[in-house]
Chains A and B, each alone.
Chain A
């Protein structure tokens, strides 16, 4: 079974790029969300192995999403996507339970390395 990932970012551009990177590596992107509210709505239905989560978003920011998610689903795995210059926000996210973070600009090799570190390769060897 392929590992299932959800991508949350307000920029379609970033969602498309991340999806391409993940799917090329064999992961399955099971859902996207363009803001925090939609992300929280979709999470319980999709039950992904990992959520890639942007911090600065409309409606509900990533840090709020992370807090709510960890409270309701303590096992949830979240990889934060942040831009340069948000060290403070990243540290806060890590303290709230994020499993890791990547920094924009998106570097495909780094994205895959971080993802693999948290949930392992795209397909588990039997």
Chain B
């Protein structure tokens, strides 16, 4: 008699997923501390558990394969085998094979009729290691197994279904707003009560769905130790990676969006930031390059910092590259602050292959990274100091399906500022607006903040503030930089359900659209892109 496989399939698979992640991370730890008997026992125990669970499910290939890995660790545990880099490579590859088999199980709900060749080869290698034969290293080299780290899919519910649910919630909210507008004509207090009751229910429902969509950052972070280890090995670098904040939860669509940027930045940090050991010794740094990935929640956003203690980004090289690419004139570049020079790496066109190698690859895809992040209302910033290291900070909203927004009117249209980027709203008299170097600015607290007009940026017009009685201003804060925007009028705060807009995809200043109860379309402003467009125009006029 066997247990009911179907009933326990999900549980089995999700537990093995976790166990494989643990194994990968423990192996990385063991590479740094190869004699740690506690880590070895822990790996032994987990492979043992996989073996037992798989056997109970009747998955004999998985069970036997786990048994082979267990044998290797049994020898390591008793000190009969040494954990050399080659043994580590073999075990990592074995885990990849196991992962592949699990992907198959997920798809087909059963094991294939015969062992896949990769698994057979790997079993032979493991057996040779366990029996003390010598020729397995050659075999391992010949195997040429695809070394890409496996991607584990954390969502157990198809996202499409949750997208549909959240879209319907959006429709409900729009229709509630419609009802409210209608009741303004009718004026029934009983209807008003019912509508506000309905609004509460729908917003509870919205909260529940948003909550289901949350996944912990661990789904990205857990893959980093293995990825970093592989990259460092390829580059011949020594590194130590610390990670924190893996338990912070985000909408799975956001996690999906920030995954590639995080991996790309970390890879760059290892390949180009961290110096080779000899160079680090010369600079009197620790032999191992220190990398830190940490996440914290900050004002409805999540901030992921990726820092290294490497060489830092060479500003002169950026200037030279920008000049050779014709991105700005020599005069303009010579006037740039360090901050502005660093910002050049996010400019489109700074990513051509030749320039990438010239500036040690730091610019690879940085333009694409920022575009990806601003499209969801986030951004990425960089700080770098020569020989001290570089820190990238990724800011992303917790959710992208519904954005709390501040609505305002500009040229009779309704535009929205994402609330996460709004610092304050104020009214200013035209006399309070200063002209500085051909730019407008105003005082906010003790700080002089640059002022842009939304209409000017969007429609390339020029506002004459002196003709107004007072000016409505939204002070925004993006990545700790304050920028003020003047608008024609302020409306209210609202939860906007973001609709994808393909037509507008090349209009970068707008990140999305939504509908209001009145049926009007609202465009959601991309503050970063607004600032960028404005400063680009300024650069042109100044030159």
Q: Is the CB of A58 within 8 A of B15?
A: no
Chain A residues lying within 8 Å of B7, measured Cβ to Cβ, are 20
Q: Is B404 in the interface zone, CB < 8 Å from A?
A: no
Chain A residues lying within 8 Å of B55, measured Cβ to Cβ, are 83-84, 104-105
Q: Which of B15, B42, B48, B58 contacts A83 (CB 8 A)?
A: B48
Number of residues on chain A facing chain B (CB within 8 A): 21
Q: Which of A66-114 contact B (CB under 8 A)?
A: 83-84, 104-110
Chain B residues lying within 8 Å of A84, measured Cβ to Cβ, are 55
Chain B residues lying within 8 Å of A40, measured Cβ to Cβ, are none
Given A16-B8, A58-B42, A105-B58, do A10 and B49 touch, yes or no (CB 8 Å)?
yes
Given A13-B8, A17-B8, A58-B42, do A105 and B15 touch, yes or no (CB 8 Å)?
no
Given A107-B1, A107-B2, A108-B3, do A14 and B45 touch, yes or no (CB 8 Å)?
no
Q: Is the CB of B49 within 8 A of A11?
A: yes
Q: Which of B129-153 contact A (CB under 8 A)?
A: none
Given A56-B48, A83-B51, A108-B1, do A16 and B56 touch, yes or no (CB 8 Å)?
no
Query: CA of A13 to CA of B1 in the docked complex: distance in angstroms?
Result: 18
Chain B residues lying within 8 Å of A117, measured Cβ to Cβ, are none
CB of A53 to closest CB in B, whole Å: 14
Q: Is the CB of A12 within 8 A of B56?
A: no
Q: Is A57 in the interface zone, CB < 8 Å from B?
A: yes
Nearest CB to that of A85 among chain B residues? B67
Q: Is B216 in the interface zone, CB < 8 Å from A?
A: no
Count of A-B contacts judged by CB separation below 8 Å: 55
Q: Is the CB of A17 within 8 A of B1?
A: no
Query: CA of A106 to CA of B63 in the docked complex: distance in angstroms?
Result: 13
Query: CA of A13 to CA of B52 in the docked complex: distance in angstroms?
Result: 10
Query: CA of A104 to CA of B60 in the docked complex: distance in angstroms?
Result: 12
Q: Is the CB of B56 within 8 A of A105?
A: yes
Q: Which of A11, A83, A106 contacts B3 (CB 8 A)?
A: A106
Q: Is the CB of B45 within 8 A of A56?
A: yes
Query: CA of A84 to CA of B64 in the docked complex: distance in angstroms?
Result: 11
Nearest CB to that of B48 among chain A residues? A56
Chain B residues lying within 8 Å of A21, measured Cβ to Cβ, are 3
Given A13-B8, A17-B8, A108-B3, do A58 and B56 touch, yes or no (CB 8 Å)?
no
Q: Is the CB of B11 within 8 A of A12?
A: yes
Contact digits for A16-28, partner B, Cβ 8 Å, 1 yes 0 no: 1100110000000
Q: Is the CB of A14 within 8 A of B52?
A: yes
Contact digits for B53-81, partner A, Cβ 8 Å, 1 yes 0 no: 10111100001000000000000000000
Q: Is B428 in the interface zone, CB < 8 Å from A?
A: no
Chain A residues lying within 8 Å of B63, measured Cβ to Cβ, are 105
Given A56-B45, A108-B1, A108-B3, do A12 and B15 touch, yes or no (CB 8 Å)?
yes
Q: Is the CB of A57 within 8 A of B45?
A: yes
Chain A residues lying within 8 Å of B1, measured Cβ to Cβ, are 107-110
Chain B residues lying within 8 Å of A17, measured Cβ to Cβ, are 3, 8, 56
Chain A residues lying within 8 Å of B49, measured Cβ to Cβ, are 10-11, 56
Nearest CB to that of A84 among chain B residues? B55
Given A104-B55, A104-B56, A106-B56, do A11 and B15 touch, yes or no (CB 8 Å)?
yes
Query: CA of A97 to CA of B55 in the docked complex: distance in angstroms?
Result: 27
Q: Is B465 in the interface zone, CB < 8 Å from A?
A: no
Q: Is the CB of B52 within 8 A of A104?
A: yes
CB of A57 to closest CB in B, whole Å: 7
Q: Which of A16, A106, A108 contacts B11 (CB 8 A)?
A: A16
Q: Which of A16, A105, A109, A110 contacts B52 (CB 8 A)?
A: A105
Nearest CB to that of B19 among chain A residues? A11
Query: CA of A21 to CA of B4 in the docked complex: distance in angstroms?
Result: 10
CB of B70 to closest CB in A, whole Å: 9
Chain B residues lying within 8 Å of A106, measured Cβ to Cβ, are 3, 56
Nearest CB to that of A108 among chain B residues? B1
CB of A42 to closest CB in B, whole Å: 21
Q: Which of B1-42 contact A (CB under 8 A)?
A: 1-3, 7-8, 11-12, 15, 42
Chain A residues lying within 8 Å of B56, measured Cβ to Cβ, are 13-14, 17, 104-106
Q: Is the CB of A13 within 8 A of B12?
A: yes
Q: Is the CB of B53 within 8 A of A14?
A: yes
Nearest CB to that of B16 among chain A residues? A13
Query: CA of A14 to CA of B54 in the docked complex: distance in angstroms?
Result: 10
Query: CA of A14 to CA of B44 in the docked complex: distance in angstroms?
Result: 18
Q: Which of B2, B42, B53 contacts A11 (CB 8 A)?
A: B53
Query: CA of A12 to CA of B49 in the docked complex: distance in angstroms?
Result: 10
Chain B residues lying within 8 Å of A110, measured Cβ to Cβ, are 1
Chain B residues lying within 8 Å of A58, measured Cβ to Cβ, are 42, 45
Chain A residues lying within 8 Å of B53, measured Cβ to Cβ, are 11, 13-14
Q: Given known contacts A11-B49, A16-B11, A83-B51, what 20 new A-B pairs fall within 8 Å (CB)? A: A10-B45, A10-B49, A11-B53, A13-B8, A13-B56, A14-B52, A20-B7, A21-B3, A56-B49, A57-B45, A58-B45, A83-B48, A104-B52, A105-B55, A105-B57, A105-B63, A107-B2, A108-B1, A108-B3, A109-B1
Sample 30 A-B pairs with CB under 8 A, ordered by A number: A11-B15, A11-B49, A11-B52, A11-B53, A12-B11, A12-B15, A13-B11, A13-B12, A13-B53, A14-B56, A17-B56, A21-B3, A56-B45, A56-B48, A56-B49, A83-B48, A83-B51, A83-B55, A104-B55, A105-B2, A105-B52, A105-B55, A105-B56, A105-B57, A105-B63, A106-B3, A106-B56, A107-B1, A108-B3, A109-B1
Which 9 pairs between the two chains have the least Cβ-Cβ distance?
A105-B55, A105-B56, A104-B52, A106-B56, A109-B1, A13-B53, A83-B52, A11-B49, A13-B15
> B residues engaging A (CB < 8 A)?
1-3, 7-8, 11-12, 15, 42, 44-45, 48-49, 51-53, 55-58, 63
> A residues engaging B (CB < 8 A)?
10-14, 16-17, 20-21, 56-58, 83-84, 104-110
